[in-house]
Amino acid sequence: MSAFPIGATLLDAMVLAVVTQKDTYGYQITKDIQEHFAVSESTLYPVLRRLQKNGSLTTYDRPYQGRNRRYYRITATGKALLDQYRKDWHDYKSQVDFFLDSQ
């Protein structure tokens, strides 16, 4: 697991990246991110609400084992935001790599 903290913007970008692959539900998003980072469901659900509120995600419900499961779908706004996050990440990573990779 990473020794560096994960900020809100990076969490937003990771959630959008997961959801851009396919519509999915909150618990699965958590599990996908937990494969690489130590985050809890209680951390990710506010991220999902924030991304829904800003128009990056939409939701719909499907029945699952007698109850509804909420699925998240990325919007055109979310895809544009993810593209910007990817560009910003590349620039940021290059700047950090300048220092950390220099011998």
Each residue of 46-76: pLDDT tens digit?
999 999 999 999 999 999 999 999 999 999 9
What is the model's pLDDT at position 100? 93
Q: Domains in the chain: how many in total?
A: 1
Average the pLDDT over 90-102 and give the result: 93
Q: Which domain holds residue 72?
A: 8-94
Give a yes or no: residue 18 inside a domain: yes
Give a yes or no: residue 22 inside a domain: yes
What is the model's pLDDT at position 44? 93
Give a yes or no: residue 89 inside a domain: yes
CATH assignment of the domain containing 76? 1.10.10.10
Strand-by-strand arrangement of the 57-64 sheet: 24-25, 67-74, 57-64
Residue 1 has pLDDT above 80, yes or no: no
CA dist 3 and 77 (Å) reads 31
What is the model's pLDDT at position 2? 67
